[in-house]
Amino acid sequence: MRVGRYEIASIVDAFYALDGGAMFGVVPRALWERKVEPDGRNRIRLAARCLLAVDRDARRVILVDDGIGDRWDARRADLYAIDRSGGGLDAGLARLGLARDHVTDVVLTHLQFDHAGGTTRSGPDGRPQLAFPRATHHVQRRAWQLAHAPSEKDAGSFRAKDFELLQHSNLLHLLEGDTPLFPDVEIIASEGHTEGQQLPRFHGDSTHVTFCADVIPTHAHLRPSWVMAYDALPLTTIEEKKVLMAEALEDDGILVFEHDPLMAACRLREEDGRPVFREAVEI
């Protein structure tokens, strides 16, 4: 898909699964299971979807989030039902004629393992190495701090070891809140899910593409009150979601779902004065 100066494509690093109850917070299973069928362990299938945006004139290749990565022992791979049989980011980049060394910038929405687990990967000798060794990694300063000193509630979502190599490289760029980042790309700061989450938005002619990360992780989460139990500030998530949806409606914008295993993105329409799902969009 072309949006302004960017060619934009979705790449799924892996599929995995999390507890369905945790993914839908206070929504009863009797309601959410009509949308998503859980497996025998009450887990629902999710995607670790990344977004690639290429500006060929500027020779800029931007990757938004880098997936769940390959550094998982058998017990956790089973717990999270990690399925990388699609070939992960390497296969996705290759389909677009690209390789890891072409990536100039990695924008990490936040540092939980299903978003930034692919920052480090296992090298040929089994030791960890930076997965995108030429890319500047853009992270909100508060997200960086939280990943290194998480609260008791979300300690299980971070693996500080994923970021040691980045910390000791010159490839880390810390950001402060809302900011333009590249031509026609703005960063929208978000606090509801976790401190210092950031959502990149790509602007084109009379439209935009917003990577919704964990504010709207799947199309089932378009309902404002369907928020995850993981969220630090669920009421803030609800307000942030409404703003993203109102802006998408106004601009005929596209919302990208990082965790939806079947639908990469959608457009909205208005119903009874509120934005609601209109159609899936292939990217």
Contacting positions for Zn ion (CB under 5 A): 114, 214
Cβ contact 131:118 at 8 Å: yes
Of 114 and 195, which CB lies nearer to Zn ion in the complex structure? 114
Closest C-alpha to 220, from 1, 44, 80, 67: 44
Q: Per residue in 65-82, is it b (16+ CB within 10 Å) or e — as a string?
A: bbbbbbbbeeeebeebbb
- Which DSSP symbol is given to 204? E
Amino acid residing at 103: V
Report how far Cα 117 is from the mean position of its chain's Cα atoms.
Answer: 11
Residue written as token pair 């997200």? 143
Residue 92: CB minimum distance to Zn ion, A = 18
Residue 217: CB minimum distance to Zn ion, A = 6
Instruction: Please tell me the total number of residues recorded for the chain in this structure.
Output: 283
Residue 214: CB minimum distance to Zn ion, A = 4
Of 195 and 214, which CB lies nearer to Zn ion in the complex structure? 214
The CA-CA-CA angle for residues 227, 228, 232, to 5°, reads 100
Of 66 and 114, which CB lies nearer to Zn ion in the complex structure? 114
Residue 184: CB minimum distance to Zn ion, A = 26
Kindly report each contact of residues 25-28 with a partner whose C-beta sits within 8 Å and lies 24 or more positions away, as own/partner.
25/226, 25/227, 25/228, 25/229, 25/231, 25/234, 26/229, 27/225, 27/226
Residue 126: CB minimum distance to Zn ion, A = 27
Cα-Cα-Cα-Cα dihedral sign, residues 179, 246, 210, 235: positive
Distance CA 123, CA 17 (A): 26
The encoded tokens of residue 21 equal 């109850």
Of 55 and 66, which CB lies nearer to Zn ion in the complex structure? 66
Of 55 and 214, which CB lies nearer to Zn ion in the complex structure? 214
Residue 199: CB minimum distance to Zn ion, A = 12
Of 114 and 162, which CB lies nearer to Zn ion in the complex structure? 114
Of 98 and 222, which CB lies nearer to Zn ion in the complex structure? 222
Residue 67: CB minimum distance to Zn ion, A = 11
Residue 28: CB minimum distance to Zn ion, A = 22
Of 114 and 260, which CB lies nearer to Zn ion in the complex structure? 114
- For residue 78, give every residue at least 6 positions away whose Cβ sits within 8 Å of its Cβ, in sequence order, or none: none
